[in-house]
């Protein structure tokens, strides 16, 4: 049985002071033995957040990472810096990074490989636009994103990866995919992983749904056989996040 994983994506929100207050508020609400809980926070909040969650079930993740070890890359953050700070997860290829910061499937692949090299679990994002959905090319598009993201990734590494299926039209819009729409794509992703690797890898890899997950829809989404939790934006900044973690 795959353990569910619910990750908050704070995006560009929360000063250090606000972050510490939010962690204090959420700590008791997200306590769970059944679900892995991750807060992916802005880079500047990582070090105080790691300190603040010590002794709890919460792990801290980053929202991005560069694919080089060190050097002349002004403004970037290296995998070693994240590991040294106590980061266990990193979101890779979120659609906002693809749209505003020119990330491509190829840079996603480089970052995924680098994260594994350093023992950080990547949360690899994929998702279609509304036009792609309306044109009926969702599954083709997602399969392409997955195949490039996993180039040269070994089966042992892939087993530990987390994939977040996030339809772009559902992010921050309040327009959640129906649980059937989400399951259809998450199932297709698992099938694609099976084709690239094998049954065992497809069985183990965890696939989240993301896009307007809230306290009211989490239970139905997470009950689907191929949905192993969620990547949560807006609702991860509120006490509702506790209800999403404890969705049952
Ligand atoms: P949302 O964001 O929950 O606010 O739609 C999800 C995400 O972008 O990861």
pLDDT greater than 90 at residue 74? yes
In this prediction, residue 17 has a pLDDT band, given cuts at 50, 70 and 90, of very high
CATH architecture of 4-245: Alpha-Beta Barrel (3.20)
Mean confidence (pLDDT) of the chain: 97
According to the model, what pLDDT value does residue 1 have?
83
Residue listed under structure tokens 């056989």? 225
Pairing mode, if any, of strands 35-41 and 229-232? Answer: unpaired
In this prediction, residue 149 has a pLDDT band, given cuts at 50, 70 and 90, of very high
Q: What is the mean pLDDT of residues 141-148?
A: 98
* Domain ranges (residues) in the chain: 4-245
Q: Does residue 166 carry a catalytic annotation?
A: yes
Which residue of 96, 100, 233 sits with most ligand 1 atoms within 8 Å of its CB, as the best mutation to test the pocket?
233
According to the model, what pLDDT value does residue 174 have?
87
Pairing mode, if any, of strands 4-9 and 35-41? Answer: parallel
Q: How many angstroms does the Cα of residue 72 sit away from the middle of ligand 1?
A: 32
The rounded distance, in Å, linking the Cα atoms of 39 and 89 is 9
Question: Among residues 59, 63, 103, 166, which one is catalytic?
Answer: 166
For residue 189, give Cα distances in angstroms to 40, 145, 165, 204, 234.
23, 10, 9, 13, 25
Q: What is the mean pLDDT of residues 209-237?
A: 98
Strand partners, 123: 91, 162
Q: What are phi and psi of 111, to 5 degrees?
A: -70, -40
pTM to 2 decimals?
0.98
């Amino acid at each position: 049985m795959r353990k569910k994983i619910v990750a908050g994506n704070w995006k560009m929100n929360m000063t250090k002071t606000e972050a510490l207050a939010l962690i204090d508020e959420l700590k008791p609400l997200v306590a769970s033995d059944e679900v892995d809980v991750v807060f992916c926070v802005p880079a500047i909040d990582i070090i105080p957040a790691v300190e603040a969650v010590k002794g709890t079930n919460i792990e801290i993740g980053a929202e991005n990472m560069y694919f080089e070890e060190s050097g002349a890359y002004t403004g970037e953050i290296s995998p070693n810096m994240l590991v040294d700070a106590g980061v266990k997860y990193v979101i890779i290829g979120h659609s906002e990074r693809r749209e505003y910061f020119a990330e491509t499937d190829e840079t996603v692949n480089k970052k995924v490989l680098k994260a594994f090299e350093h023992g950080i679990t990547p949360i690899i994002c994929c998702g279609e636009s509304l036009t792609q959905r309306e044109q009926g090319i969702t599954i083709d598009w997602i399969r392409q994103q997955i195949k490039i993201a996993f180039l040269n990734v070994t089966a042992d590494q892939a087993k530990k990866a987390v994939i977040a299926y996030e339809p772009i039209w559902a992010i921050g819009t309040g327009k959640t995919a129906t649980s059937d729409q989400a399951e259809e794509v998450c199932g297709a992703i698992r099938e694609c992983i099976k084709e690239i690797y094998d049954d065992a890898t497809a069985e183990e890899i965890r696939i989240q749904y993301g896009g307007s997950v809230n306290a009211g829809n989490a239970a139905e989404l997470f009950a689907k056989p191929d949905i192993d939790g969620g990547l949560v934006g807006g609702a991860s900044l509120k006490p509702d996040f506790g209800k999403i973690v404890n969705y049952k």
